């Protein structure tokens, strides 16, 4: 992973923290809606960036021939 990717991740995380802090303050309805929308956008951007860089999980292929072969060995 490049240093640029780490910098982007750090920037998104900093923005998320800032928006969460702002939501704890007194805001008008319009301001709150804006911050909530930006928070969701930042979260989506962070998930997209980390999902590309760090795959969270993978699934194993369904291989019935392997289970039949394993049963035959017993």
Q: How far apart are CA 62 and CA 74, in angstroms?
A: 21
- What lies within 8 Å, CB to CB, of 71 at 6+ separation is none
Domain ranges within the chain, ordered by starting residue: 3-73
The model carries a pTM of 0.66
Q: Are 9 and 50 in contact (CB under 8 A)?
A: yes
Quickly state the pLDDT bin for 2 (edges 50, 70, 90).
confident
Q: What tens digit of pLDDT does each residue of 12-37 get?
A: 999 999 999 999 999 999 999 999 99
Read off the DSSP letter of residue 28: -
């Amino acid at each position: 992973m490049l240093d640029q990717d780490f910098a982007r991740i750090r920037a998104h995380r900093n923005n998320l923290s800032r928006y969460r802090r702002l939501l704890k303050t007194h805001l008008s309805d319009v301001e709150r809606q804006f911050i909530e929308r930006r928070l969701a956008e930042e979260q989506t951007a962070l998930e997209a960036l980390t999902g590309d860089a760090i795959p969270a999980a993978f699934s194993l292929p369904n291989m019935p021939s392997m289970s039949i072969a394993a049963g035959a060995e017993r």
